[in-house]
Amino acid sequence: EVQLVESGGGLVQPGGSLRLSCAASRFTFSSYTMNWVRQAPGKGLEWVSYISSSSSTIYYADSVKGRFTISRDNAKNSLYLQMNSLRAEDTAVYYCASSRMIAVAGTWGDYFDYWGQGTLVTVSS
Amino acid sequence: SSELTQDPAVSVALGQTVRITCQGDSLRIYYASWYQQKPGQAPVLVIYGKNNRPSGIPDRFSGSSSGNTASLTITGAQAEDEADYYCNSRDSSGNHLVFGGGTKLTVL
């Protein structure tokens, strides 16, 4: 069974930094696009960032662009999220999730097939 | 604000059929995917593509799409289907993924 295990969450002061990691096992990590998705307490899901299998394509949500950096190490089966200039509104459970794409008759779409259990990031003084 | 709009809450009687909708201009171009999330748990993929179910998802879950609206239908809702449901797709630019605001499903 595929496993994605996040780590690195914790309490950090506003303006501080934190690096999240996601360790993947039991699937071909290097073949998968990976993402970070977050969920603030009592709120909905928010997509944060996307990285293609070779790291050639990277996207960020507008809310984190310029502050967060996604990266991966396929040799270590690991995904990372470097978070700088943290704000109170970044407080959330952060999930890593693998994604794939399906295309049928000219229409296509992404889907998140595997998810980790999440790591809590709290930004507070 | 989300580019995908969902009703905040929907209820259904046990054993009845319920449809959860997701509206957005990008759904004219891209498929939506659907996720079930129960309290304290990670989301679980239930529908992707035109109408595909991952292994282990009951066949009472189905998906459809028309124009700018994607729908998740649960035929014969069970007590264990009570959860939050989220749709996801790309935005109109294609460079961002976006979730709907979520629909809380109550099974009466």
Chain segment B18-29, per-residue pLDDT in tens: 999 999 999 999
**pLDDT above 80: residue B2:** no
- The pLDDT tens digits of the residues spanning B67-95 come to 999 999 999 999 999 999 999 999 988 89
CB contact under 8 A, A111 and B98: no
Please report the pLDDT score of residue B1 as a whole number. Answer: 46
Residues ≥6 apart with Cβ < 8 Å to B9 = B103, B104, B105, B106
Residue A89 backbone zone (phi > 0: left; psi -120 to 50: alpha; other: beta): alpha
Identify the three-state secondary structure at position A75: helix
B53 part of contact set with chain A, CB < 8 Å: no
Distance from CA of A78 to the nearest CA of B (A): 19
- Residues in chain B within 8 Å Cβ distance of A107: 29-31, 50
Amino acid at A61: A
The confidence score (pLDDT) of residue A39 equals: 98
Q: What separation in angstroms does the CA of B26 have from each of A36, B85, B99?
A: 21, 19, 12
Short-list A105, A111, A106, CA closest to B89? A111
8 A C-beta contact, residue B85 and residue B36: yes
